[in-house]
Chain A
């Protein structure tokens, strides 16, 4: 509360006037001589006291009128937002951080205690909303009992999640406002306020005008913590290939220490090493396991940390040892050059990951396609109808097909399986230009991403295909699509508008040919999909087609089915909510082991300083506290002097009535 005209308060001195009139003046009454008091009695005093009481009431009314008048002229005001918060009903949002770092000490218990304390101060007219946020925001309920149901997760409360939590608070406030008029929101944020969660730009966290943010940090110091920050291991090892596992051990706020790192494979300790971790730094431990079994292997690197956050002292990873995957290469019988170049490139790049089965097109009718990682149709003319049908089914169920177009295939009207029309073959020697080069490459396409040096490649012949609904990943100088991709069912079809021999182009002779073949093979065989390791809270992609397909079977780290039957046939992705190994059997029959770890950003337990926190809090509270220019705008004052004037008017009426009553009495006496 404040006053716009504070000097007007000096008018309250005038309260002394009625006091003087009523009290001081009264005491100056001189005794009046009277002939005899024979007929007067002492009991008349009570009547006088009654009158004095009436006079005191009159005095109080007059003093109140003068004091309130002075107060009204001083023009008192309240801060509108505070007044709104203090007065009417408000929505109390309790947002509790249940991220991974809250496992340290009893941070979550403390947060829940403090939240319960805030909830206990709730007034009847207030509403409550309890949120839990880690990597996601969950609405827990609208009663204080919901606080007790919040449990720890291995997820992370990063900047993104914090802002998401604040946005959720703002949305909740907006919904509440829509339901109950303009209801102000008081958001209480209970978190360990990690520095790693600190946003780069505070303005991103700005909340609405009616939202007041109160931060409750539950950690007041930085705790030392060791963690296995990352593990670098190949996802697959083919044949008798060697495996190399490299683990990074990090110390956050720690002194220099010696830690023992242990490699565990399928629950068995394989190797152990002692490493020196510098103060607040990182060290690397390298393991070379000799006998990695075939199949899916559950790997783990552990350290002997004695800190209060043991859940980041191990890191899960999965390694698959498998035989080289077979690739069907279908070509015209008389052309052997393309198979030679393709095989050579494949073997040079992929470390025996693929074994190429080159088959003439006339022998392709009865092949079982499902044993192949992908199929290549290299400039084939006519295909056996059964083979084309089988190929179509293979692609729809998740298989991949690479089609190279050349002189033979240009005789057809359309690209097999790809189902787009062939417009014309382009022979550049006849068209005026001696050759064409790749004028435009889509750097985001997996086949081209790491093989962008196609500048010197000369294309003498290409087949123009109507792209239709296909994605064009590369074009030649005359705008002829060079690389096209189309999704078909669960599978994908890639069309290369030239050949893999060095007749239609000189691509096989260039260094960029090998990485192109390698990445294309991995892309088609789905060897590079997804990250090596997942963090808790991320999503696992299950299928690309929206239509219902074959079921996906997933067992979570607890050994329970993670999806219902309906979800198994429809869900396109699934959240990974627990650290450990997820056993995934995809619709195409592939079996995967997905390793999920707690987010290591949470391992740094350094907390935001109080000053920064205050700045952040002020920013988040809305534009009235922090503007983009960094100036502070005064909140709009709520003046209520006219309420006081109404009160003065009422008191004046009461004073008039009471005073009139006295005058009437005295008039009768006179």
Chain B
């Protein structure tokens, strides 16, 4: 029943992205409570003796009144977790063979991750890019950060072509703190180039998750007759027969996915293929799994 709320087609009918994110995460968490496999404490606080220079906003004045000792409240998220989402908004991401295109799906995913991070008091940031950086929201756990993120995600529009090399130079500047980096893209680039470009993020102590968003039609195209295809990024056209799409193309796309998965694994990157026809919870589960590992 709850899966229904995570279905991309259902989410597409919800107008506000914040509501989408709330629906996804609430439903997802409710599902987790029923699962013994995933132990999870929402937040963990500890007290630390005040030392000069600490932010006075975090002093627990109730404890000071009772004991006249100055303690600071510490939150786990505030200490070492930062989520940075890199959202690919290239032209190819606007492709969709059903109600939800890849960019919409990526938006849902990004919004859900942001909402989840916000609920856990994790700092979250966003970079929207195509061949250049379109938008940037610096990671933060402050009040109103979620709405800034959701607004930036909603504003993301399909741009031009994907170029990892150029925007990723800037990403290195943006990630001064260690944390989780989530890259949501369709990765229409050679796996070597992708891994080579993203790999430096890992060197800085970040955990990197690659969400590979693909439409079912891209994974397994089904044409009834020869079709004239137009590349959404280059506008080049090509006539494609059903036989080729059924045989050679699938072989090639499978090889591409497998190569990207292997090379990402080789470089210590987590890879996850997101089929836009499938529910979002698998993506969230992947995220939480990785975050758990960092606790």
Q: Which chain A residues have a beta carbon within 8 Å of chain B's beta carbons?
A: 29-42, 44-45, 47-48, 51, 665-666, 668-670
Contact with A along B215-236 (1 / 0, CB 8 A): 1001000111111111111101
Q: Is the Cβ of B188 less than 8 Å from the Cβ of A36?
A: yes
If A35-B215, A37-B236 touch, whether A29 touches B228 (CB-CB below 8 Å) is yes
Tell me, in angstroms, the Cα distance from A38 to B245 when the chains sit together. Answer: 12
Given contacts A33-B95, A39-B249, whether A45 and B239 have CB atoms under 8 Å apart is: yes
- Whether the pair B232, A669 counts as a contact (CB closer than 8 A) is no
**A5 vs chain B, min Cβ distance (A):** 39
Which chain A positions have C-beta within 8 A of B234?
Answer: 37
Alpha-carbon distance A44/B188, docked complex (angstroms):
21
Q: In the assembled complex, how far is the CB of residue B253 from the closest CB belonging to chain A, in whole angstroms?
A: 5
Additional A-B contact list (8), CB under 8 Å, known A33-B229, A34-B231, A35-B188: A29-B228, A34-B95, A37-B231, A48-B239, A51-B226, A665-B242, A669-B222, A670-B222
Among all A-B residue pairs, the 4 with the closest Cβ atoms: A669-B242, A35-B95, A39-B252, A35-B92
> What is the distance, in angstroms, from A63's C-beta to the closest C-beta of chain B?
21
**C-alpha gap A94/B245 in the complex (Å):** 72
Docked pose: A615 CA to B267 CA in angstroms: 107
The answer for the CA separation of A666 and B92 in the assembled complex, in Å, is 27
Chain B contacts of A44 at CB under 8 A?
238-241, 244, 248
How many contacts between A and B, using CB within 8 angstroms?
84
Instruction: Enumerate 25 A-B pairs (CB-CB under 8 Å) in ascending A order.
Output: A29-B227, A29-B228, A30-B228, A31-B230, A33-B230, A35-B92, A35-B93, A35-B102, A36-B92, A37-B229, A37-B236, A39-B253, A40-B240, A42-B238, A44-B238, A44-B239, A44-B241, A44-B244, A47-B241, A48-B226, A51-B241, A665-B243, A669-B222, A669-B245, A670-B222
- Chain B interface residue count, Cβ-Cβ cutoff 8 angstroms: 37
Residue of A nearest to B233 (CB): A36
Q: Does B246 contact A (CB under 8 A)?
A: yes
B residues 232-274 with Cβ under 8 Å of A? 232-234, 236-246, 248-249, 252-253, 256
A32 and B253 form a contact (CB under 8 A):
no
Q: What chain B residues lie within 8 Å of A666 (beta carbons)?
A: 224-225, 242
Supposing A31-B229, A34-B231 touch, asked if A48 and B241 sit within 8 A by C-beta, the answer is yes
In the complex where A44-B240, A47-B243 touch, is A36 in contact with B231 (Cβ < 8 A)? yes
A-side contacts of B253, CB under 8 Å: 39
B residues 196-232 touching A (CB-CB < 8 Å):
215, 218, 222-232
CA–CA, A158 to B108, complex, Å?
114
Give every chain A residue within 8 A of B246 (Cβ-Cβ). 668-669
The residue from A32, A36, A38, A668 contacting B227, defined by CB atoms under 8 A apart: A32
The answer, yes or no, to whether B186 is at the interface (CB within 8 Å) is yes
Q: Which of B188, B239, B242 contacts A38 (CB 8 A)?
A: B188
Q: In the complex, what residues of B have CB within 8 A of residue A32's CB?
A: 227-230
Shortest distance from the beta carbon of A36 to any chain B beta carbon, whole Å: 4
Hey, which chain B residues are within 8 Å of A36, CB to CB?
92, 186, 188, 231-233
Contact with A along B136-161 (1 / 0, CB 8 A): 00000000000000000000000000
A668 to B245, CA, bound (A): 12
Q: Write the nearest CB–CB distance from B102 to chain A, whole angstroms.
A: 7
**Closest approach, in angstroms, between the C-beta of B240 and any C-beta of chain A?**
6
- Minimum Cβ distance to chain A for residue B251 (Å): 9
Do A669 and B215 have beta carbons less than 8 Å apart? no
**Roughly how many angstroms separate A35 CA and B96 CA in the complex, as a whole number?**
8
A666 to B233, CA, bound (A): 29
Inter-chain CA distance A495–B229, complex, in Å, is 126
CA distance A668 to B242 in the complex (A): 9
- Which of A42, A45, A669 has the most chain B CB atoms inside 10 A of its CB? A669
| Residue from the list B188, B222, B249 in contact with A40, Cβ < 8 A | B249
| CA gap between A558 and B74 in the complex, in Å | 156
> Does B249 contact A35, Cβ atoms closer than 8 Å?
no
* Contact residues in A for B222 (Cβ distance below 8 Å): 669-670
When distances are taken between beta carbons in the complex, the residues of chain A under 8 Å from B227 are 29, 32
Contacts of A39 in B (CB 8 A): 249, 252-253, 256
Chain A positions within 8 Å of B242 at CB level: 665-666, 669
**Alpha-carbon distance between A39 and B259 when the two chains are bound, in angstroms:** 14
Collect the chain B residues with CB atoms within 8 Å of residue A33's CB: 95, 229-230, 232
Given A36-B232, A40-B238, A670-B222, A47–B95 Cβ distance below 8 Å? Answer: no
Docked CA distance A29–B237 (Å): 13
Q: Which residues of A contact B215 (CB under 8 A)?
A: 35
Residues on the A chain within 8 Å of B243, using CB:
47, 665, 669
Q: How far is the CA of A37 from the CA of B234 in the complex (A)?
A: 9
Expressed in whole angstroms, the minimum distance between the Cβ of A670 and any Cβ of chain B is: 5
Neighbouring A residues of B249 by C-beta, 8 Å: 39-40
> Smallest distance from the beta carbon of A382 to chain B beta carbons, Å?
130
Min Cβ gap A38→B in Å is: 5
